[in-house]
Amino acid sequence: MNKSKKITLFWIAVTIFLCFLIYLLWGILLPFVAGFILAYILNPLVVKLKKHHLSRTWATSIVIVCLLLSVFACFFILFPVLEAQIISFIVKIPQLANTLWIKVQPALDMVRDHISEQQLDYLKESLSNQTANLMNDAGATLLQLFTGWAALFNVASFLVITPVVTFYLLNDWEKITTKIKDLYPRKNADFINKKIHETDTILSAFIRGQALVCISLALFYGLGLTFAGLDFGFSVGFISGLFSFIPYVGTLTGFVLSLLLAATQATGLSLFLGILVVFGIGQFLEGYVLTPKLVGDKVGLHPVWVIFALFAGSYLFGFLGLLIAVPVFAVLGVVVRTAIDFYKNSIYYKGK
């Protein structure tokens, strides 16, 4: 067996071992993955503080304390509002569904002359059942997220374990990256560094920038829909903004849900116009102000690629898969582009 085959088999064996190890430890990885992502996001802040003649430990401590204060502030200010509105929404689901059905009834009466009575009854029953099932499933999911021991355990896990992991990773970030670079094969070290830098450029632009965009839109939509007079407007807008990292999906879902809720309120066109204005301004801010300023044009991730990554990650691995989907697919994107470059420089492409 020649040297190149031995090297290839070695890296295949290492990859299989790491994948098997991740599979075994999957159930406990969430706080550690979240801590790593937070450390990656916060590392530039630590670097900036170090420039003001602070040690790495002091800079890390300041950043972690500010992070914890922000989390506690959000928890004690926003969480009670979201919990109250979501539980109230779940309780009122039957009433809201009945009111919405009464609003839709005139439209069905208009088509009564074009379809048989049996078909109309079947349509009514199907729509009623599907609407009830959808709202009940959504309500049960939201209720599980905001109440119960599982939710308390998950919150405690994030508030206790994740900050500790984040602190140690942030404090030793430079040492960790240096040791990882020392493990690169010496022959390919420059090439690997170049590709790691390319990946870091994509991830830093997307993760750090998109996080700020989502938070900004969540507050804007939540406050905007509240001032527009929409019941449960803050929860709908806030959740819609947070999920705007999924291109078009978060905003479109929030917009449709807002219109449906507006249809159940005994108001005129002013509420609908208010919703259109809020989401119109939000889309303008996202497309022409927030995304260009905070994310930039260096991401290189097509919206369809991002949507597929998020759906695939959440479908295969749940919430943890949702967290790592974009980083993994960003790396895969770099690998695919590199493989295409190799292919175009090979005899298989050039024919020589």
pLDDT-wise least confident of 89-93, 110-114, 188-192, 201-205: 110-114
Kindly state the average pLDDT of the residues 100-117.
Answer: 64
- For CA atoms 143, 144, 146, 148, the dihedral sign is positive
Q: If you search the block for the tokens 């905003």, which residue do you land on?
A: 251
Spell out the residues 6+ positions from residue 211 whose beta carbon is closer than 8 angstroms to its own: 41, 245
Confidence at residue 221, expressed as pLDDT on a 0 to 100 scale: 92
Confidence at residue 158, expressed as pLDDT on a 0 to 100 scale: 61
220 band by pLDDT with thresholds 50, 70 and 90: very high
For residue 32 the two structure tokens come to: 């550690």
Are the C-beta atoms of 86 and 222 separated by less than 8 Å?
no
Closest CA to 166 of 71, 264, 280, 284: 71
185 band by pLDDT with thresholds 50, 70 and 90: confident
Please indicate whether residue 59 or residue 327 has the higher confidence score (pLDDT): 59
Are the C-beta atoms of 221 and 278 separated by less than 8 Å?
yes
The reply to whether the predicted model has a pTM over 0.85 is no
Residue 241 has pLDDT above 70, yes or no: yes
Residue 327 has pLDDT above 80, yes or no: no
CA dihedral 12, 18, 23, 25 (to 10 degrees): 170
Residue 324 has pLDDT above 60, yes or no: yes
Kindly state the average pLDDT of the residues 290-316.
Answer: 72
Half-sphere exposure of 98 (CA within 13 A, CB side): 4
d(CA 153, CA 346): 54
Kindly state the percentage of the chain with pLDDT values over 70. Answer: 74
Kindly state the average pLDDT of the residues 256-273.
Answer: 80
Average pLDDT, the chain: 77
Please indicate whether residue 191 or residue 302 has the higher confidence score (pLDDT): 191
Residue 153 has pLDDT above 60, yes or no: no
pLDDT-wise least confident of 186-190, 295-299, 315-319: 295-299
Kindly state the average pLDDT of the residues 73-96.
Answer: 74
86 band by pLDDT with thresholds 50, 70 and 90: confident
pLDDT-wise least confident of 40-49, 218-227, 305-314: 305-314
149 band by pLDDT with thresholds 50, 70 and 90: very low
Confidence at residue 299, expressed as pLDDT on a 0 to 100 scale: 58
Kindly state the average pLDDT of the residues 105-133.
Answer: 63
Residue 101 has pLDDT above 80, yes or no: no
Half-sphere exposure of 293 (CA within 13 A, CB side): 8
Kindly state the average pLDDT of the residues 89-98.
Answer: 70
Confidence at residue 18, expressed as pLDDT on a 0 to 100 scale: 81
pLDDT-wise least confident of 144-158, 185-199, 278-292: 144-158
**pLDDT tens column, 111-122:** 666 666 666 666
Please indicate whether residue 335 or residue 112 has the higher confidence score (pLDDT): 335
Domain segments of the chain as ranges = 34-183
